[in-house]
Amino acid sequence: MIFLAIDEKGAFFLRVLHITTSVFPQSAAYRCHKALLKMGIDSSIYVLDDSVVDADVMYDKKVKMLSRAMRRIKMMKEKGKEQFIKKIFHSSPNAPVSLGFGSMLNRDFIKEFNPDVINLHWICGAFVSISDLDWLRRYPLVWTLHDSWAFTGGCHVPQFCKKWNSNCNECNIVGRRFGVDLAEIIFRRKLKYYSKMDVKIVGVSAWIADCARNSTLFHDKNIYCVHNTLNQELFKPKDKNVVREILGIPKDKKVILFGAMNSTSDENKGFRFLYNAIRHVIDRNLIKNAELMVFGSDEPQNPPDFGAPVHYMGRYRDNLSLSMLYSAADVMIVPSKSEAFPNTVLESIACGIPVVAFRIGGIPDQIQHKVNGYLAEPYNSEDLARGIIYVLEDKMRWEVMSKEARKKAETCFNEKCIASEMVKVYEKAIFDKKAGEDKHVYLS
């Protein structure tokens, strides 16, 4: 059925090129790439910046050869287009917005690489423009959705707005001025190019896959759900006493962990819900000897008073240190308002640490209520507090939940299983592309 190249050993040969603005060791695109490599797939990543030093992570040679100053000027020019427009239209500074106008994509670079299939991931930040998609459709194309940007008028996290399932317009986040509706312009621009694309859409959770199915822009596309994965030899339970001694965390405390990039400044990460829940638990002395660890953020100048000691751990870039941090905790709190499939939850359960989070987005794919964690009613700090108590108050219950957390990671999110599912999507994209070309030749 699938006509793939065959190497000198007679094995099927599949050349995958991931395109994403940047990668780091904890990014979903990088982990997907690594899982494919372990399966024997020829996988590479094309990125805008050199955030990871890896033989399979490639940068634009022409851009890389530029002096550091010239490269910065070129990137600032492309990003500056979007920043200028957003400033004119008063786009919200408190919510992520991308317009899809700027482009640093080198088409010759992709031609030279000659992939069998392209897997798009997070492509904003003036790397891949909406019009670039019209050129990329000459290749079998898969697009993995890590947030909602691909099917909205420019916002990444629409929260309670559902205009993407009709026609994005009059958006307070993206902006409207001088009688010009910026979100509607972007939405219609996407509709123009998407209508010509035979792209396979991969949602990293059932929730975002359903959103794509119900969206105006993707309702007629093939849509799949393939979860994120991670290396479970790195992220696995470690001796709690040993890692706490290494990290300088008291061994006799109940440690509550909270982690997210820009966790204390990003409204979507729900820091205020965390604060209210912790104060509810501490002020009523519902959990004794509790301490808090916060990572992904440095200590703010005026740190909030949680009523308990707080360890601000900063940012962790290597997986080993991060897995030690999880293993040092007793419970992980993820109070986000909206998440497609948070890697922090996946990392935590892989390390055997139960998670308390709101029942939103893709989190129910990862957490079974009162089995390997606790799903609180959305945006209810008191229920979040009840979840913390539920996980920590009974040692035997905690041990069962810890085992169930690890079991969930091993069963549902292992690298081999996820990589196999992605290969099926790639094969479908290649087959349909070839079938379409054959039909075109026949009709002509």
For the chain, domain boundaries: 5-229+415-443, 240-412
Diameter over CA atoms, the chain = 77
Same CATH topology for 5-229+415-443 and 240-412: the answer is yes
Tens of pLDDT, residue by residue over 177-201, are 878 899 999 999 999 999 999 999 9
**CA-to-CA separations, 320 to 324, 343, 353, 409, in angstroms, rounded:** 6, 15, 16, 17
For residue 227, name the pLDDT band (cuts at 50, 70, 90).
very high
Fold of 240-412: Rossmann fold (3.40.50)
Residue 421 has pLDDT above 70, yes or no: yes
Distance, in Å, from the CA atom of 244 to the CA atom of 328, rounded to the nearest integer, reads 5
CA 2 to chain centre: 30
Poorest-confidence range of 39-48, 125-134, 262-271, 373-382? Answer: 262-271
Query: Which CATH class, in words, describes the domain spanning 5-229+415-443?
Result: alpha beta
CB-based contacts of 261, cutoff 8 Å, min separation 6: 296, 297, 315
Q: Beta strand pairing status for 254-259 and 199-203?
A: unpaired
Q: At what angle do helices 381-392 and 271-283 cross, to 10 degrees?
A: 60
CB contact burial 205-240 (16+ within 10 A = b; e otherwise) = bebbbebbbebbbbeebebbbbbbbbbbeebbbbeb
pLDDT of residue 414: 97
Residue 33 has pLDDT above 50, yes or no: yes
Tokens of 106: 């080198």
Tens of pLDDT, residue by residue over 346-364, are 999 999 999 999 999 999 9
Q: pTM for the full model?
A: 0.92
For 411-417, what is the mean pLDDT? 97
**How many percent of the chain have pLDDT more than 70?**
88
The dihedrals phi and psi of 143, each to the nearest 5 degrees, come to -125, 115
For residue 444, name the pLDDT band (cuts at 50, 70, 90).
very low
Q: Which of 22, 68, 69, 66 is nearest to 45 (CA)?
A: 22
Query: Helix (H, G, I), strand (E, B), or coil: what is residue 16?
Result: strand
CB-based contacts of 273, cutoff 8 Å, min separation 6: 335, 358, 379, 381, 384
For residue 50, name the pLDDT band (cuts at 50, 70, 90).
low
**Are 142 and 133 contacting, i.e. CB atoms less than 8 angstroms apart?**
no
